[in-house]
Amino acid sequence: MLIDLRAVFIAGLRDAARLRLALPLYIAGLLLGLVQSWPVLFSASNGQLGRINAERLLTSGDALVDLLTNQEATAATGIWLLLMPLLSLLFSACYNLFSGGILSVWDGRRSFWAGGWHFFLAFTALGLLLVVLALVALGVGSAVAVALGPMVGAGISFVLLQLLNLTGEYARAIGVTQNLRNPFALFGHAATYITRRPAALLLGLLGLALHAALVAIYLTILPLFGASPLVMLFNQLLVFAWLWLKLLRLAWARSLVAVGQASVQPSSAAEPAASAPALS
């Protein structure tokens, strides 16, 4: 089967260009971040922001350690770190809700909210499945690390996690495109799909490279800001760009799946997804 990769590439870009779709996730992250950070700022300073030398904290990593050796600040940091994974779980829930909405808008069959809620439980279950598999991948990685050295172990873990990440994206894309909601079936279809389509791996690699390039650019430019308050805008730009690249990956996955489905449907017997609607 031949797929017009250029068309998929451009269709994905066009979908992702609807920046408005990234806003709900961006706002959710921002709000959760504020929820997490304000109590800490207050308690770290014993209720008095005036006791924190913010200027020094912003320019010196050592100043942070100095602050942490202060008991109240240590306790506050502990709370901050504990809250981090909990609130990140909430962010994950938002992603499971909004990714269904975003994909549905691109798909055109459901509205943002209708699509989001329609796939919410399925995507949440899929997310849990992915977390379990990610833990397994990390276990494999550490076993390899013991046998072949930490670098090899870390490399294996990284590759496995990236494959899982890609599979998850295609599972969501297939779910919306083919209206499937069984998380196991979604994962199975996606895994089969990406092993059979080099284009999926190629686009996945491209997405990964873009994320890496984004971080490299960020780290290169960051020192130029020094303690300037403009760094706030720059940070938020990175956050938004990272989020947008994630959407681009989803958009490419959906375009690829949609194009494949369109071109295969006439002779659908070979396509596992085609016999799957009963599962939804």
Nearer to other proteins, 77 or 274 (CB): 77
Nearer to other proteins, 7 or 19 (CB): 19
Tell me, rounded to whole angstroms, the distance of Cα 83 from its chain centroid.
Answer: 19
SS (H, E, C) the chain: CCCCHHHHHHHHHHHHCCHHHHHHHHHHHHHHHHHHHHHHHHHHCCCCHHHCCHHHHHHCHHHHHHHHCCHHHHHHHHHHHHHHHHHHHHHHHHHHHHHHHHHHHHHCCCCHHHHHHHHHHHHHHHHHHHHHHHHHHHHHHHHHHHHHCHHHHHHHHHHHHHHHHHHHHHHHHHHHHHCCCCHHHHHHHHHHHHHHCHHHHHHHHHHHHHHHHHHHHHHHHHHHHCCCCCHHHHHHHHHHHHHHHHHHHHHHHHHHHHHHHHHHHHHHHHCHHHHCHHHC
CB of 202 vs other proteins, minimal distance in Å: 19
Nearer to other proteins, 95 or 119 (CB): 95
Nearer to other proteins, 13 or 148 (CB): 148
CB of 228 vs other proteins, minimal distance in Å: 8
CB of 65 vs other proteins, minimal distance in Å: 4
Structure tokens at 194: 């990406």
For other proteins, the binding residues (CB under 8 A) are 29-30, 32-34, 36-38, 40-41, 48-58, 60-63, 65-67, 69-70, 73, 80, 84-85, 87-89, 91-92, 94-95, 126-127, 130-131, 134, 149-151, 161, 164-165, 167-169, 171-172, 227, 229, 231-232, 235-236, 239, 242-243, 246
Nearer to other proteins, 3 or 83 (CB): 83
CB of 61 vs other proteins, minimal distance in Å: 7
Nearer to other proteins, 64 or 279 (CB): 64
CB of 188 vs other proteins, minimal distance in Å: 14
CB of 174 vs other proteins, minimal distance in Å: 13
